[in-house]
Structure 1
Amino acid sequence: MISNIAEDEDKWLAEGIAGIQHNAFYMHRSLDSNNLREALKYSAQMLSELRTSRLSPHKYYELYMRAFDELRKLEIFFKDESKHGCSIIDLYELVQHAGNILPRLYLLCTVGSVYIKSKEAPAKDVLKDLVEMCRGVQHPIRGLFLRSYLSQVSRDKLPDIGSDYEGDADTVMDAVEFVLQNFTEMNKLWVRMQHQGPGRAKEKQEKERSELRDLVGKNLHVLSQIEGIDLEMYKDTVLPRVLEQVVNCKDELAQYYLMDCIIQVFPDEYHLQTLETLLGACPQLQPTVDIKTVLSQLMERLSNYAASSAEVLPDFLQVEAFAKLSSAIGKVIEAQVDMPVVGAITLYVSLLTFTLRVHPDRLDYVDQVLGACVKKLCGKPKLEDSKATKQIVALLSAPLEKYNDIVTALTLSNYPRVMDHLDNGTNKIMAMVIIQSIMKNSTCISTADKVGLFFSVLFTSSPLQNMQCIFLTL
């Protein structure tokens, strides 16, 4: 059955490509003879092949790229008024007479690109017209690719600061509004793809959607490249609008991907200064979203930013980054009641890594992270899950590696309390880690109290095995 569907799709794709090639041949002949009317006729027939609903997103992309290549040649023809003898304003009106809406809008976007470049109308007016007109195509796949084409042909023609299309002082906001509106509509179409087609397997459907995620994400990349977006505009307009769409779409795949996009494409300074807003969206995401990975990547970005220059460290203190991250992680764990223990511990490992890199002098912060982990583990049996115990070992090893002083780590009140939740096997592993740290750093445990503390931690849950550990190591 699957084989038959694949064969049918290959056949339909081949027919679509043949239709594009056939009409493109006559379009080229019309271009060579400077026959505008015939060129429009055959280009519209060529673009009608994109009206198909029979192809999967992957196959449709192949068909789209064939048409895209031909549209680039058509755009070159439109630019040269001496060849077709039609003003760009008249041409913009003329292409709107195409019979079917999809070819009409592809042609309109192509002429619109030339129209903006001619500067015979403000870029913001043409862009606003195009982004609104594209609402006419609501089929998820066809609409997504149409808007992707609009984004592609307009990205170097936005009325940004310092661009050829800057215009008056307010046009940066027009550029931002255009990209945000296109992003919002594309995301809605992308989310609606999951409801396309009867009886399609969810796994296959999500795989197909995932393959198209970059079409949506490119809008955020375009936003990040707009020179006129400063911190204030990002804080007041861009981030709230993007997060509103992320939260409201209520789609696991879209929420995870777009949160990751936000973290990756915008500057670290912006993330730090808008941390509360960004983190505020996390508990509102679907319970199935892999938020631990999103937050871990955010904390890694911020850690690297802090390490890049000592001058930025006061900013971390000013915005109370640790407190906000700690609070957000607590809220996410509380909101996602089905989150496995390993997921929560992974978040605490990331928070501890962030703390040790950004606030190494704040032992109270380190102890607070360990305490939050203890709270999560309370009332649960000793950990035996290999992934969870591996994360606990990483959590307990981090202070040892950072301070090179076992005594400093062991004076943290919550350190032994975390070890209380380890099973015998993992407790033995941690005993080895602690002893190896002492030997590696030639640590001198100088007082009877410190020796007592050391042994109380080491022999918390498996005294005999851990004593054997010591002798084996020595």
Structure 2
Amino acid sequence: MMLNVGEDEEKWLAEGIASVQHNAFYMHRALDSNNLREALKYSAQMLSELRTSKLSPHKYYELYMRAFDELRKLEMFFKDESRHGVSIVDLYELVQHAGNILPRLYLLCTVGSVYIKSNEAPAKDVLKDLVEMCRGVQHPIRGLFLRSYLAQVSRDKLPDIGSEYEGDADTVTGCCRIFEAFNWAFWSQGPGRVREKREKERSELRDLVGKNLHVLSQIEGVDLEMYKDNVLPRVLEQVFPDEYHLQTLETLLGACPQLQPTVDIKTVLSRLMDRLSNYAASSTDVLPEFLQVEAFAKLSNAIGKVNVCFHVVANSL
């Protein structure tokens, strides 16, 4: 009797978890005996399970969390040079020779976290290096989970203002770009049934993206000017597609009158109109969607409300 998709997934997940546990057992033995070579071997085999394309984001998350818990133990081992006898600089180079790219990058992020903590290299340089290498994973789900892992292990090591890892004046901008890069793989598009599958995946992954954006929002060095000029435009471009802006247009525009008078709302609305206009022109299938949500009428109405609101504020000053 043929299994259905749900039963297949449960079977694949169970097999993946069993393999993670099997390799984690031997990794623990290697850690207990301070055997770096064996620890790297079995941790790489354990992480190879995350190369699967058979699982939905929800099931993949379960597998990811099993590996995540084991990586925390490996990180503690990496921190103690007296146990493995290799400097953190050499260890950072060593793990780059692991076999497949995905296990290699998880190990590299784990060592990279310890590398930053050692202060033997500027935090922004290590993070930039890690982000660039993580771009090598093109699969949207595997790529997003990898970037989420990097976000988790580096969130307390960002070269932010006031941080022990603070560097030159460009470090805050670097922080923002790092976290902008974490979500790039999330919004892949596709036609027909592929697109429907992507919508389901997006729904299941929204919490993961939300966590990454939350970390971005906590960077102390992001002031209003940087948020307006650098963060918001890139987040809107990289994280949310035009169709999402269209379907949430009423909520988005409803917030405009509540903005501070110093905010350049004209530019914000102008850019939004340009994006939606280009989206409308991209395909004949899009126009009915515009008519259904009454996009142009809502934009016009919002502009009128903003003008009235700011006029009232100006007269009261």
TM-score normalised per structure 2: 0.81
| 8 Å contact kept, 1:140–1:193 | no
Task: Give the corresponding residue for 1:24.
Answer: 24
Q: 1:385-421: per-residue Cα shift (whole Å, max 9, x none)?
A: xxxxxxxxxxxxxxxxxxxxxxxxxxxxxxxxxxxxx
Tell me which amino acid in the other structure corresponds to 1:252: E
Instruction: Provide the rounded CA distance (Å) in 2 between the counterparts of 1:23 and 1:15.
Output: 12
| 8 Å contact kept, 1:141–1:193 | no
Q: 1:145-187: per-residue Cα shift (whole Å, max 9, x none)?
A: 111111121122110110111123332222223223x14xx33
Counterpart of 2:219 (choices 211, 222, 226) is: 226
Q: 1:120-166: per-residue Cα shift (whole Å, max 9, x none)?
A: 11001100100001121111211111111111211221101101111
Q: Verify: 1:279 aligned to 2:275, yes or no.
A: no
Instruction: Provide the rounded CA distance (Å) in 2 between the counterparts of 1:29 and 1:260.
Output: 55
Task: Give the corresponding residue for 2:234.
Answer: 241
Instruction: Provide the rounded CA distance (Å) in 2 between the counterparts of 1:4 and 1:173.
Output: 48
Secondary structure of 1:192's aligned partner: coil
Q: Structure 1 residues 172 and 353 mapped into 2: Cα distance closer, same or farther (>3 Å)?
A: closer
Counterpart of 2:188 (choices 192, 202, 215) is: 192
| 8 Å contact kept, 2:91–2:111 | yes
Task: Give the corresponding residue for 1:165.
Answer: 165
| 8 Å contact kept, 1:191–1:254 | no
Q: Structure 1 residues 347 and 243 mapped into 2: Cα distance closer, same or farther (>3 Å)?
A: closer
Tell me which amino acid in the other structure corresponds to 2:151: S
Q: Structure 1 residues 124 and 37 mapped into 2: Cα distance closer, same or farther (>3 Å)?
A: same
Q: Verify: 1:339 aligned to 2:262, yes or no.
A: no
* Structure 1, unpaired ranges of 5+: 290-334, 363-474
Secondary structure of 2:187's aligned partner: helix
* Structure 2, unpaired ranges of 5+: 280-286
Instruction: Provide the rounded CA distance (Å) in 2 between the counterparts of 1:277 and 1:147.
Output: 32
Task: Give the corresponding residue for 2:68.
Answer: 68
Instruction: Provide the rounded CA distance (Å) in 1 between the counterparts of 2:79 and 2:247.
Output: 41
Q: Structure 1 residues 346 and 51 mapped into 2: Cα distance closer, same or farther (>3 Å)?
A: same
Q: 1:399-457: per-residue Cα shift (whole Å, max 9, x none)?
A: xxxxxxxxxxxxxxxxxxxxxxxxxxxxxxxxxxxxxxxxxxxxxxxxxxxxxxxxxxx
Instruction: Provide the rounded CA distance (Å) in 1 between the counterparts of 2:127 and 2:158.
Output: 8
Tell me which amino acid in the other structure corresponds to 1:107: L
| 8 Å contact kept, 2:250–2:298 | no
Task: Give the corresponding residue for 2:116.
Answer: 116
Q: 1:284-319: per-residue Cα shift (whole Å, max 9, x none)?
A: 4458x9xxxxxxxxxxxxxxxxxxxxxxxxxxxxxx
| 8 Å contact kept, 2:188–2:198 | no
User: Residues 376-387 of structure 1: matches in 2 within 5 Å?
Assistant: none
| 8 Å contact kept, 1:19–1:46 | yes
Instruction: Provide the rounded CA distance (Å) in 2 between the counterparts of 1:257 and 1:146.
Output: 29
Task: Give the corresponding residue for 2:283.
Answer: none
- Who wins on radius of gyration, i.e. which is larger? 1
TM-score normalised per structure 1: 0.56
Tell me which amino acid in the other structure corresponds to 2:188: R
Task: Give the corresponding residue for 1:11.
Answer: 11
Task: Give the corresponding residue for 1:252.
Answer: 243
Tell me which amino acid in the other structure corresponds to 2:273: P
Tell me which amino acid in the other structure corresponds to 1:66: R
| 8 Å contact kept, 1:50–1:142 | yes
Q: Verify: 1:49 aligned to 2:42, yes or no.
A: no
Q: Structure 1 residues 73 and 224 mapped into 2: Cα distance closer, same or farther (>3 Å)?
A: same
Higher relative contact order (CA 8 A, sep 6+): 2
Tell me which amino acid in the other structure corresponds to 2:18: A
Q: Verify: 1:211 aligned to 2:204, yes or no.
A: yes
